[in-house]
Structure 1
Amino acid sequence: MARILIAGESWMTTSTHVKGVDAFSVHSYTEGVGPLRDALVARGHEVVHLPAHRVPGEFPGDAAALSAYDLVVLSDIGANSIQLAPAVFERAEPGEDRLGALRDWVGDGGALLMVGGYLSFSGFEAKAAFRQTVLADVLPVTMLAEDDRVERPAGVVPTVVEAGHAALGGAGESWPLLLGYNRVVAKEGAEVPVVVGDDPLVALGTFGAGRAGAFTSDCSPHWAPPAFCEQWPGYADLFDGLVRWLAKA
């Protein structure tokens, strides 16, 4: 069993309804972490979810706080949300270098998984901005300097190159289609057991004494349709395998 922190995978939406000369706004809050959290809990792991709006104020800032976990998962949450704590951004007070702490923690034996999305890797209009951070050294992939999203509305079927890799958890060779992913380039020496076209879907590597991984598509809609994240038995196998390989569980 691994202790896992999942940061991100939630969002707030504001929409404006216009009815003739009148208009009003409505707001909603959504969590997309359900499929991933439920799959991992069902496999015996302990999962703590830190929603996106709580990340700036509560993301672990040093090795002591990170040591409560075996694996940190960043999913659809940009670098700014991690680095810009309220005291830093709103009051100009020096604070913790939380990405630096995460890098050092992985190097000392921790584990990191980045899951794709509009605010993962480089992301939408490059706003995720991880390429400019120290996590660029940790991840087993090189990120693009521009918007790295590859939208595949007709679907793209992953190609499993190494079905027997332990990090895939026995998910098999036949995977459902995905609707998009973040384009990255595998670093020299990285293991890439699954691809989409010519691009990595699953990439794995080491950093110091720790391990880091990338799953470049989503863990929930829209890039991961229900056929992938809700109906496919291999979904739980895959993410359980990734957790166990990364955390050396």
Structure 2
Amino acid sequence: MKKVLIVGESWTVQETHVKGFDTVDLGRLEQDSSSHLVEALKNAGIEVDYLPSHLAQYHFPDTVEQLNEYSAIALSDIGSNTIMMDPIMQFQGIRKPNRMLAMVDYVKNGGGLAMFGGYLSFSGIENKARYAMTPLAEILPVEMLNYDDRMEHPEGIVPAVVKADHPVLSGTEGEWPWFLGYNKIKAKPEAEEIAVIGKDDTFMASMEVGKGRTFAFASDCAMHWGSKAFLAWDGYQKVMPNIFKWLAKEI
């Protein structure tokens, strides 16, 4: 397997500390939420490049040739605007390759693409992720909404496996841990639905696309939707690498 690319799972914070009469503005970069996924892949012997959201605007691969350096790519909690709106194009009026179209061609020619859930995945909060309006809607294994698709479950909700023999579940046993929410998606007729959640919403689905493969995971691979119980679950160390191995056609 070639290396894989994880994109997203980071954000910057600007906050104001009020100390009586005085205020202090502070800023910081948060990107630790990628660590669980990256660690699970590295533990399985998979080489990983990680591209946080603020760098993806500038450095996400522009062409199929650049994407072909990777066996699989995962978008996780990063909206379509960040991928499509290269600042050089936006602020200098210079044409740039459409990265979404490049990903479509990459998959159809043999690449692998996964999307993990989150506030800026699939449709996302206030439909800001808006992937249903992009070329990726053609190749992802699920139908997406054109409005806010968050299903919040502060009480916890447990997915149910419907296709136990799918390769991504190899090595996992028993009931899954609970989650705190997910994106409402539905497997396409031509896709394989692997697990469901809630009232028959899709939790995991996979699909063959041309010579390549795509995968959808409706909840978060990290907190907050990905609960502490999920991140500590033994199956996490199996399922996450298996998704990328399946995308790379190694299982």
Normalising by structure 1, report the TM-score. Answer: 0.97
1: distance between equivalents of 2:99 and 2:238?
31
The answer (yes or no) to whether the contact 1:169–1:240 under 8 Å persists in 2 is: no
The answer (yes or no) to whether the contact 1:160–1:173 under 8 Å persists in 2 is: no
Q: Per-residue CA shift, 1:137-165, capped at 9, x if unaligned?
A: 01000110100011100100111112221
Matching residue within 219, 222, 227 for 2:221 = 219
- Deviation of 1:2 (Å): 4.5
The answer (yes or no) to whether the contact 2:157–2:179 under 8 Å persists in 1 is: yes
Find the counterpart in structure 2 of residue 18 from structure 1.
Answer: 18
- Deviation of 1:169 (Å): 2.7
Which range moves more in the overlay, 197-206 or 68-77?
Answer: 197-206
1: distance between equivalents of 2:202 and 2:179?
13
Secondary structure, counterpart of 1:106 in structure 2: helix
Which range moves more in the overlay, 231-240 or 13-22?
Answer: 13-22
The answer (yes or no) to whether the contact 1:14–1:28 under 8 Å persists in 2 is: yes
1: distance between equivalents of 2:162 and 2:194?
5
Find the counterpart in structure 2 of residue 189 from structure 1.
Answer: 190
2: distance between equivalents of 1:5 and 1:190?
23
Secondary structure, counterpart of 1:13 in structure 2: strand
Find the counterpart in structure 2 of residue 152 from structure 1.
Answer: 153
Secondary structure, counterpart of 2:70 in structure 1: coil
Q: Per-residue CA shift, 1:98-143, capped at 9, x if unaligned?
A: 1100111101110100000111001010001111100000100011
Secondary structure, counterpart of 2:27 in structure 1: strand
1: distance between equivalents of 2:38 and 2:197?
24
The number of equivalent residue pairs is 248
Matching residue within 221, 227, 230 for 1:228 = 230
2: distance between equivalents of 1:40 and 1:155?
26
Normalising by structure 2, report the TM-score. Answer: 0.96
Find the counterpart in structure 2 of residue 29 from structure 1.
Answer: 29
In structure 2, runs of 5+ residues without a counterpart are: none
The answer (yes or no) to whether the contact 1:115–1:214 under 8 Å persists in 2 is: yes
Find the counterpart in structure 2 of residue 173 from structure 1.
Answer: 174
Q: Per-residue CA shift, 1:58-93, capped at 9, x if unaligned?
A: 000111101110000000111111111121111111
Could you list the runs of 4 or more consecutive aligned residues of structure 1 that deviate by over 4 angstroms after TM superposition?
Answer: none
Which range moves more in the overlay, 72-81 or 185-194?
Answer: 185-194
- Deviation of 1:186 (Å): 1.2
Secondary structure, counterpart of 2:88 in structure 1: helix
Q: Per-residue CA shift, 1:27-67, capped at 9, x if unaligned?
A: 22111100000001000101000011000100001111011
1: distance between equivalents of 2:65 and 2:58?
17
Find the counterpart in structure 2 of residue 3 from structure 1.
Answer: 3
- Deviation of 1:96 (Å): 1.0
1: distance between equivalents of 2:161 and 2:107?
27
* Residue 119 (str. 1) matches residue 120 (str. 2): yes
In structure 1, runs of 5+ residues without a counterpart are: none
- Deviation of 1:20 (Å): 3.1
Which range moves more in the overlay, 185-194 or 54-63?
Answer: 185-194
The answer (yes or no) to whether the contact 1:163–1:170 under 8 Å persists in 2 is: no
Secondary structure, counterpart of 1:162 in structure 2: coil
Q: Residues 44-55 of structure 1 correspond to what in structure 2 (within 5 A)? A: 44-55=45-56
2: distance between equivalents of 1:161 and 1:241?
17
Find the counterpart in structure 2 of residue 239 from structure 1.
Answer: 240
Equivalent residue letter for 1:201: F
Identity across the alignment (%): 44
The answer (yes or no) to whether the contact 1:169–1:242 under 8 Å persists in 2 is: no
Secondary structure, counterpart of 2:239 in structure 1: helix
Find the counterpart in structure 1 of residue 208 from structure 2.
Answer: 206
Find the counterpart in structure 1 of residue 130 from structure 2.
Answer: 129
The answer (yes or no) to whether the contact 1:116–1:182 under 8 Å persists in 2 is: yes
2: distance between equivalents of 1:222 and 1:29?
17
